[in-house]
Structure 1
Amino acid sequence: MSQITPIPAFEDNYIWALCQPGHSHCMVVDPGDAEPVLQFLAQQQKQLHSILVTHHHADHTGGIAKLRQLFPDVRVIGPAAGQQRIPQLTEQVKQGDAVSLTEFNLTFDVIALPGHTLDHIAFYSAPVLFCGDTLFSAGCGRLFEGSAAQMWHSLQKLLALPDNTQIFCTHEYTVANLQFALHVDSDNAALSEYSQHCRDLRLKNQPTLPVTLANEKKINPFLRSNNKLLQKKWQKDSALALFTMLRAAKDQFKA
C-alpha cells in the first residue's frame, strides 16, 4: 500500500508525498518549494520519481526547476492548458487522460477543473483525489480566472465521485473555512461537530486533511448549494445562484 504524507510548506501549503514501503521511489504533488521536499527525501531515503502538478500558481510550481536539476529523469506531469506558464512540464495532460505510474502500481485519471484557474486539473485514483485548490475542506478555491458557473460545474464532477473519495487538497484552510461555513449554515449539527474536531486537531498541530467526500457533502456550504433549505434561507432560486453568492461573500468574510 502507498503511504501519502503531507510535507508542510510556506504558511499553510501541503506538498503531498506518495511513497511505497520497501521501494525507493517517491512522487510529490504541487511542490511550490523544493527545500522541504529535499529534506523529506533525505529523511526517508527516497528518490524523486515523478511530480504531479494541478495548476500554474507559484506556490504549487516554484520548486519544480530545482527538483528537475537534482533529479533530471523526474517525470513532471501537469495541465496541457498551463504548459506556457509551467515550462518545466515533461508531460502535458487533459480531461480524460490517464497517467500510468507503473512503479507505484497506480493509474490516475485526469479531471479538468476550471474555476480557480483555467488550467486547473485533478488527479484521481480511487479512492485518492489530488485536487489542488479546487475543493478544500468546508470550502473551495477563489475564482482567479474562471467564472462561478465554471467552478460550480467543476465541483459537480467531484460530487459525482464515490463518497469514500479521500480529498487531498493543498492548503490547511479548514478552520478558517469552517468559520464561514458556520455563518452560512448555522443550523447544521454535523458542521458544528466537525468544526470542534478540526479545532482540536489544529491545537495538536495535526493536519485536518485528507477528508472524505461523504463528510464534505454534509458540511461544505459550497457543495451544499443545491440544498433547498439553504437556498430558501439565502433567498436564491438555484444552486448556481447560491454558489455565486457564497463565493463572493466568502471573499469579503471576516470572522
Structure 2
Amino acid sequence: MSLDVRQIPVLNDNYVYLVRESGTGAVAVVDPAVAEPVLREADKLGWTITHILNTHHHGDHVGGNLEIQRATGCHIVGPRADRQRIPGIQTEVGDGDIYDFGAARARVFDVPGHTRGHIAYWFEAEDVLFPGDTLFALGCGRLFEGTPAQMWESLGKLKRLPDGVRVYCAHEYTQANARFALSLGEDNAALATRAKEIDATRAAGKPTVPSTLGEEKRTNPFLRADDPALAQAMDMVGAPPVEVFAEVRRRKDSF
C-alpha cells in the first residue's frame, strides 16, 4: 500500500489524519482542526507536510489550515462548491474530479447534506476513504445546510464503493452512535455484535476508527434506510427510503 495513514486525536473527539504517499514522500493533512499537534507529529515522524486536504469548511476541520501553511508552505485542496469558506484554498475540486497526491490518486465526490459544499476523497487503489463528516462509524453528520434527500443521495455515492474500503471518518462518535442504532429496535445480529466490540474497544482506550464500508453497510442505520427490516422496525413499511432516512436522522437529533 502506498499510503501510510496516521491518526491524530485532537480537541474532544476529532481525528486529524497525516497521510504519507510512499512513492514520492508527499504528506497530506486531512481536515486539520488545529495545527500544533499535527506539526509536532509530522516532526516526530520526520515527515514534511506538502498538502492539506479539506472536506468542508467547519472550524474543527480547517482551523489549522493557515498556521500549517505558514509553517510548511503546503498546498491546500478543498471543495470547489465551498471555496469561499476554506482558508488558504489553492486547488478547488468537485464531483468526479481526480486529484493526484504524489503517486496516489483520489476520486472526489460531492456529498452535500452536512454542509452545502462537502466533499469526500476516495483513494481507490489503497481502499481508503476520507468522508469528513458525511459518514461516521455507525452514523452520519447532522444536516446543518442540506436536506434529507441530499444527504441520502450523498451517502448513496459512498455506499456504492467496495466493502473493503477503510472509512477514516473525522470523529470518535461510534459508541454513542451504536447506542442510538440499537434503540431503533431492529433485530440485527451484526449490529449487536459490533456494539459489544465497540464497548470493549473504548474501554481499552482504543479508537473505533477506521471502520470498513462493509461493516457500515451491514450495521449503520443511515446507510440502511432502503432495508425493509429497518423500515419494519420503525413502523415505516413501504415508506420511500428517503423518508425512512429522514426519520432516522430526526430521531438521532433528539436522542
| TM-score normalised by structure 1 residue count | 0.95
Q: Structure 1: which amino acid aligns with 2:243?
A: A
CA distance in 1, matches of 2:252, 2:5: 30
- Corresponding residue for residue 247 of structure 1: 249
- Using the alignment, how far apart are the partners of 2:34 and 2:61 within structure 1? 8
Q: CA RMSD in A?
A: 1.3
Q: Letter of the aligned partner of 1:85 in structure 2? A: R
Partner Cα separation in structure 1 for residue 38 and residue 108 of structure 2? 24
Question: What amino acid is aligned across from residue 248 of structure 2 in structure 1?
Answer: L
Matches within 5 A, 1:162-173: 162-173=162-173
Question: Gaps (5+ residues) in structure 1?
Answer: none
Q: Which digits, 9 at most, give the CA deviation of each residue in 1:175-194, with x for residues without a partner?
A: 00000000014421111111
How big is the shift at 1:220? 0.5
Rounded to whole Å, the distance in 2 between the matches of 1:160 and 1:23 is 30
Note the C-alpha offset of 1:217.
0.9
Quick one: structure 1 residues 128 and 43, their matched pair in 2 at CA, closer, same or farther if it must change by over 3 Å?
same
For residues 95-110 of structure 1, what are the structure 2 equivalents within 5 Å? Answer: 95-102=95-102, 105-110=103-108
Aligned mates of 2:67, 2:11 — CA distance in 1? 17
Percent identity over the alignment is: 42
- Give 3-state SS (helix, strand or coil) of 1:172's partner: coil
State the Cα distance separating 1:224 from its structure 2 match: 1.0
- Indicate the SS of the match to 2:49: strand
Shift of 1:21: 5.8
Q: Is the 8 A contact 1:185 1:221 kept in 2?
A: no
* Cα distance in 2, alignment partners of residues 101 and 137 from structure 1: 25
Cα distance in 1, alignment partners of residues 185 and 17 from structure 2: 30
Secondary structure, counterpart of 2:57 in structure 1:
coil
In structure 1, distance between residues paired with 2:253 and 2:94: 29
Residues 77, 91 of structure 1: 8 Å contact kept:
yes
Amino acid at match of 1:108: A
Paired position in structure 2 for 1:133: 133
Amino acid aligned to 1:202 = R
Residue 56 of structure 1 is matched in structure 2 by 57
Match for residue 47 of structure 1? Answer: 48
Q: CA deviation at 1:86?
A: 1.2
Q: How many residues align?
A: 250
Task: Tell me the equivalent position of 1:35.
Answer: 36
SS at match of 1:132: coil
Deviation of residue 238 (structure 1)? 1.7
Deviation at 1:25, TM superposition (A): 3.6
Q: Which consecutive residues of structure 2, in runs of 5 or more, have no partner in the other structure?
A: none
